[in-house]
Amino acid sequence: MPKKFFRRVFPDHAKVREHKALQFFGTLLHDPNLWHLNKRSVAGAFAVGLFMAFVPIPFQMAAAAALAILFRVNLPIAVALVWITNPLTMPPIFFSAYKLGQWVLDTPHMAFAFELSWEWLKTDMLLIWRPFLLGCFIMSSTASLAGYIGIRVFWRISVVLRWRERRNERLARRVSLRKPPRD
């Protein structure tokens, strides 16, 4: 069952609740719906976490936590999924977002060299912000929808397989009870 997998992989809610980066949420973290592992909560957390992973803002984890609280979905899953975009994956993901936005808007290619500086943000980012943000929005929305649907389908398949397994076990027990003992 997916619930067992998620319980094994993600931290205990008491540890997450006490994390210093999330303390500004206060008693909102005490809502039990934020810690439930059910189909709705996990699928919603995937939608929130994957959406925020592709949004190019600082403090993505805090924004994902706020959305998880707002939509009352699993908080640890939503916050953990934000780490899809980490310092190693950000450059190719955000470059892909720029290229996607450029393709959708049909804008000409602009050569630029990325620098993590205020001067670069004031000059080069002003030239590419439209295709970049559009690409980020498309990737966020697509990943969010795919994650939500994917988890719902995965959860349903695992439940159906578990039902079949239990049914087969019951049938096997009935058959074994009906057989006459051999002498």
Q: Is residue 99 part of a domain?
A: no
pLDDT at 48: 96
Q: Is residue 76 part of a domain?
A: yes
pTM score above 0.85: no
Q: Is residue 80 part of a domain?
A: yes
SS (H, E, C) 53-106: HCCCCCCHHHHHHHHHHHHCCCHHHHHHHHHHCCCCCHHHHHHHHHHHHHHHHC
pLDDT at 124: 76
pLDDT at 11: 62
Dist. CA 113–CA 107, nearest whole Å: 18
List the domain range (segments joined by +) for residue 146.
Answer: 2-88+138-178
For the stretch 93-98, contacts whose Cβ atoms lie closer than 8 Å and that sit 24 or more positions apart, written own/partner, are 93/54, 93/139, 94/56, 94/132, 94/136, 96/135, 96/139, 97/54, 97/56, 97/132, 97/135, 97/136, 97/138, 97/139, 98/128, 98/131, 98/132, 98/135
- 85 near 53, Cβ under 8 Å? yes
Number of domains in the chain: 1
Q: Is residue 100 part of a domain?
A: no
The string of pLDDT tens digits covering residues 29-55 is: 777 778 888 889 999 999 999 999 999
Can you read off the two tokens belonging to residue 127?
Answer: 């030239």
Q: Is residue 51 part of a domain?
A: yes
